[in-house]
């Protein structure tokens, strides 16, 4: 049975709302190094995190290297490979922001959303719609693409009789692209905008990327993969058809289910087990997410009885969101109603963490907290301070660039410390449960007069160590596999009444008034202060020095050691103040004090 021939089973595709681009930077981390040191471009270059090549440039790929390979294998395959360390993420984060900001500056509706470091979705419906109105159907070859709502002279000339870049499917000849229906024209306009934006990214910032053009995030992301690197692909209409397989269905059909964004590892395995009629026995044998058994979307879609109801039955259970069946059915059919998120000026929260093989003495904890506090403070300065000297606040008098005052764009109201204790029985079982405590972010953190080291030291002694004692009142007996320090509960300074945040001078005059209203009640303040004394007594005995903690086995996250989590677009709300936690192993939520017993239970069962 073919779903395409049974339109009642095919979810309705929204075609008129949005045109989206998905931009994925080529060999992102490697290009950041290449941009810093252009001589690297012609050499095989690999970026190392832990013992793994997280990415490599195309010269290295030509010589047989690939992403997520062990360093020692890479050296064997290509002995003259140049290896650079990519554990400090600062340069990548900064590059990512620059790329994002450039793209965002072209957006009219601010629907511009980062995914990870090197991917950006843009909803350009409004720009495209506007330009559709400007087209002269009798002279498409000499068209003008207007880039500014307010200034019709800002834009570029282009040939609207042709689509820019590649298409899916690849037409046998050019005539096939010449359709004049609204969807075809919109996608064609979007393809020219995409080409223009790619040229901008390359000429202004030195980065190349692959772009996908379609009507929703899912399709745009997937179709952009077809022509990499440094190219673009548009998913051509028809997007629906009563008789034949439409292009969306045939495009989706060729994908392995696990490759569909939104279908995670567990769901893909359940689908494979169900359709292939084999137990999902391979999940323990997986290496870095590679699968042994492939299930094409076409086979899943056509499987007898398959549809939203069957998927709901198959996939629903504890921890899965309501309506999982229709959602996954939609994805298999190329439907995705997720909107492109509105660009945020500041992240929702910033957190820094590190993992350890063994962390079980207060001395080591304090040393680690120092490192985390330093990194956190550096992140707050980079992400939340407006340092842009070219765009001073309107009230400021600017005799020279050095006198432009810096201002906070947002203030995190809360600081949170989380730890992940190992099961107390000393077993090697890994516990994923985190416990946390929060406190108001102290005002001195926002001072720009004090030296950063002094501020971070105060943060450790006056806030973090007392929080640590609240989490682990016992002097010893604990052993942590992770610590995370987060600045959360972000208050936007610009929206603060009276615009105080726009002027750092005024802010400090009114600092107490302003920050008072953000105070988060913490009933244990007394306890925190008592503990401070204890900490101060311990501190002088702890030498400054290299990191004492060791690390867990390599993880393949985008964030390396001292990983920073900038929540720019995540839906996760702060888990701060109620201190209610969700166990990552079974999904149960409970108050923090119950977590240790709960992880012990997991360790034993
Ligand atoms: P990708 O877009 O997967 O890789 P890439 O941009 O390097 O290469 P491609 O041209 O194939 O798109 O990931 C973006 C960056 O994220 C990458 O440069 C390095 C980093 N990264 C990790 O840190 N860990 C990982 O497991 C992967 C896959 C990537
Ligand atoms: Mg990439």
Query: Which token pair is 356?
Result: 């350890």
Ligand 1 pocket at CB < 6 A: 24-29, 49, 54-55, 67-68, 117-118, 228-229, 556, 558
Residue with tokens 């350009």: 124
Is residue 329 over pLDDT 90? yes
Most confident range (mean pLDDT) of 101-105, 141-145, 348-352 is 141-145
Nearest residue (CA) to ligand 1, atom 26 = 556
pLDDT given at position 380? 93
Hey, what's the torsion of the CAs at 326, 328, 333, 339, to 10 degrees?
90
Is residue 170 over pLDDT 80? yes
In the chain, which segments carry CATH 3.30.1490.100?
350-393+403-505
Is residue 337 over pLDDT 50? yes
Q: How far apart are CA 417 and CA 438, in angstroms?
A: 6
Q: How far apart are CA 10 and CA 521, in angstroms?
A: 51
Between residues 226 and 244, which one has the greater pLDDT? 226
pLDDT average, residue stretch 554-565 = 41
Nearest residue (CA) to ligand 1, atom 13 = 28
pLDDT average, residue stretch 7-18 = 63
Is residue 237 over pLDDT 60? yes
Is residue 133 over pLDDT 90? yes
What share of the chain in percent tops pLDDT 70? 71
C-alpha 256 to ligand 2 mean position (Å): 20
Question: 380 near 448, Cβ under 8 Å?
Answer: no
Q: How far apart are CA 229 and CA 211, in angstroms?
A: 9
Least trusted range by pLDDT, from 525-529, 537-541, 546-550, 561-565: 546-550
Is residue 163 over pLDDT 90? yes
C-alpha 28 to ligand 1 mean position (Å): 6
Q: How far apart are CA 119 and CA 456, in angstroms?
A: 32
C-alpha 208 to ligand 1 mean position (Å): 14
pLDDT given at position 423? 79
Query: CA gyration radius for the chain?
Result: 27
C-alpha 573 to ligand 1 mean position (Å): 26
Question: Residue 211: what are its φ and ψ, rounded to 5°?
Answer: -125, 145
pLDDT band at 268 (very low <50, low <70, confident <90, very high): very high
Question: Residue 117: what are its φ and ψ, rounded to 5°?
Answer: -90, -30
Least trusted range by pLDDT, from 45-49, 337-341, 382-386: 382-386
Beta bridge partners of 156: 145
SS3 of residue 263 by DSSP:
coil
pLDDT given at position 74? 97
Task: Using the atom order of ligand 1, give the atom closest to the CA of residue 55.
Answer: 7
Query: Which token pair is 536?
Result: 């101060």
Q: Is 110 left (phi over 0), alpha (psi -120 to 50) or beta?
A: left
Question: 446 near 505, Cβ under 8 Å?
Answer: no
What share of the chain in percent tops pLDDT 90? 56
pLDDT given at position 178? 66
Is residue 216 over pLDDT 60? yes
Among the bound ligands, name the one nearest to the CA of residue 56: 1
C-alpha 238 to ligand 1 mean position (Å): 32
Least trusted range by pLDDT, from 331-345, 532-546, 574-588: 532-546
The whole-chain average pLDDT of the chain stands at: 78
Domain 350-393+403-505 falls under CATH 3.30.1490.100: yes
Least trusted range by pLDDT, from 291-300, 322-331, 543-552, 561-570: 543-552
Nearest residue (CA) to ligand 1, atom 5 = 27
Question: 349 near 486, Cβ under 8 Å?
Answer: yes
pLDDT given at position 572? 32
Which of 57, 85, 118 has most ligand 1 atoms within 8 Å of CB, for mutation? 118
pLDDT band at 76 (very low <50, low <70, confident <90, very high): very high
Nearest residue (CA) to ligand 1, atom 15 = 28
DSSP symbol at 229: S
Residue 464: partners with Cβ closer than 8 Å, 6 or more residues away:
369, 372, 373, 415, 417, 485
C-alpha 118 to ligand 1 mean position (Å): 8
Question: For 290-391, where are the alpha helices, taking DSSP H only?
Answer: 297-302, 308-315, 324-332, 362-384
Task: Using the atom order of ligand 1, give the atom closest to the CA of residue 49.
Answer: 23
Which of 67, 100, 561, 564 has most ligand 1 atoms within 8 Å of CB, for mutation? 67
In the chain, which segments carry CATH 3.30.70.270?
19-25+118-332
| 184-214: pLDDT as tens digits | 999 999 999 999 999 999 999 999 999 999 9
Among the bound ligands, name the one nearest to the CA of residue 32: 1
pLDDT band at 88 (very low <50, low <70, confident <90, very high): confident
Q: How far apart are CA 379 and CA 454, in angstroms?
A: 16
Is residue 389 over pLDDT 50? no
Q: How far apart are CA 456 and CA 376, in angstroms?
A: 9
Between residues 351 and 513, which one has the greater pLDDT? 351
Nearest residue (CA) to ligand 1, atom 28 = 54
C-alpha 392 to ligand 1 mean position (Å): 35
pLDDT given at position 53? 96
pLDDT given at position 519? 30
Least trusted range by pLDDT, from 58-62, 222-226, 377-381, 571-575: 571-575
Task: Using the atom order of ligand 1, give the atom closest to the CA of residue 30.
Answer: 18
Is residue 282 over pLDDT 80? no
Architecture of domain 19-25+118-332: 2-Layer Sandwich (3.30)
pLDDT average, residue stretch 301-315 = 95
pLDDT band at 427 (very low <50, low <70, confident <90, very high): low
C-alpha 287 to ligand 1 mean position (Å): 17
pLDDT average, residue stretch 22-30 = 88
Nearest residue (CA) to ligand 1, atom 7 = 27
C-alpha 55 to ligand 1 mean position (Å): 6
pLDDT given at position 346? 78
Nearest residue (CA) to ligand 1, atom 16 = 558
SS3 of residue 52 by DSSP:
strand
pLDDT given at position 429? 56
């Amino acid at each position: 049975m073919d779903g395409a021939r049974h339109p009642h089973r095919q979810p309705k595709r929204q075609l008129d709302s949005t045109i989206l681009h998905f931009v994925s930077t080529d060999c992102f981390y490697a290009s950041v190094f290449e941009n810093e040191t252009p001589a690297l471009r012609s050499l095989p270059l690999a970026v190392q995190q832990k013992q793994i090549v997280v990415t490599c440039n195309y010269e290295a790929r030509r010589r047989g290297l690939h992403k997520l390979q062990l360093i020692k294998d890479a050296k064997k395959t290509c002995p003259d490979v140049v290896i650079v360390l990519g554990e400090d993420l600062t340069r990548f984060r900064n590059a990512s922001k620059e790329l994002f900001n450039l793209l965002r500056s072209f957006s009219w509706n601010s629907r511009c959303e980062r995914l990870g470091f090197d991917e950006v979705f843009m909803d350009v419906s409004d720009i495209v719609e506007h330009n559709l109105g400007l087209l002269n159907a009798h002279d498409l070859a000499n068209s003008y693409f207007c880039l500014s709502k307010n200034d019709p002279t800002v834009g570029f000339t282009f040939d609207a009789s042709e689509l820019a870049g590649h298409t899916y499917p690849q037409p046998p000849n050019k005539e096939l692209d010449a359709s004049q229906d609204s969807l075809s024209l919109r996608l064609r306009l979007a393809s020219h905008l995409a080409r223009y934006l790619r040229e901008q990214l390359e000429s202004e910032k030195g980065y190349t990327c692959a772009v996908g053009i379609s009507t929703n995030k899912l399709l745009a992301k997937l179709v952009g993969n077809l022509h990499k690197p440094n190219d673009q692909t548009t998913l051509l209409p028809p997007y629906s058809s009563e008789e034949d397989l439409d292009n969306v269905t045939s495009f989706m059909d060729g994908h392995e289910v696990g490759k569909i964004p939104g279908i995670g590892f567990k769901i893909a395995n359940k689908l494979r087990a169900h359709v292939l009629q084999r137990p999902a026995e391979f999940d323990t044998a997986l290496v870095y997410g590679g699968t042994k058994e492939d299930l094409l979307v076409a086979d899943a879609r056509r499987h007898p009885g398959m549809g939203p109801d069957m998927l709901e039955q198959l996939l629903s259970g504890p921890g899965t969101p309501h309506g999982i069946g229709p959602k996954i059915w939609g994805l298999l059919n190329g439907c995705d109603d997720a909107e492109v998120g509105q660009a945020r000026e500041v992240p929702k929260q910033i957190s820094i963490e590190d993992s350890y093989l063994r962390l079980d003495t207060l001395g080591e904890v304090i040393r680690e907290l120092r490192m985390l506090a330093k990194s956190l403070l550096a992140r707050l300065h980079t992400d939340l301070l407006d340092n842009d000297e070219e765009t001073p606040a309107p009230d400021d008098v600017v005799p020279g660039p050095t006198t432009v005052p810096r201002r906070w764009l947002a203030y995190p109201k809360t600081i949170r410390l989380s730890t992940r204790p190992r099961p107390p029985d000393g077993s090697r079982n890994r516990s994923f449960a985190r416990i946390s405590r929060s406190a108001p972010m102290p005002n001195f953190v926002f001072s720009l007069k004090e030296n950063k080291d002094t501020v971070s030291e105060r943060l450790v002694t006056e806030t973090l160590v007392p929080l640590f004692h609240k989490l682990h009142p016992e002097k010893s007996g604990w052993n942590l596999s992770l610590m995370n320090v987060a600045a959360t509960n972000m208050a936007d300074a610009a929206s603060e009444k009276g615009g105080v945040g726009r002027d750092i001078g005024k802010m400090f005059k009114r600092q107490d008034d302003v920050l008072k209203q953000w105070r988060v009640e913490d009933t244990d303040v007394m306890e925190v202060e008592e503990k401070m004394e204890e900490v101060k007594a311990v501190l002088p005995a702890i030498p400054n020095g290299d990191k004492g903690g060791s690390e867990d086995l390599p993880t393949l996250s985008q964030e390396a050691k001292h990983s920073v989590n900038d929540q720019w677009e995540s839906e996760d709300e702060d888990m701060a103040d109620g201190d209610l936690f969700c166990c990552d192993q079974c999904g149960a939520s409970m108050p923090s004090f119950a977590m240790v017993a709960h992880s012990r239970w997991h360790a034993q069962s």
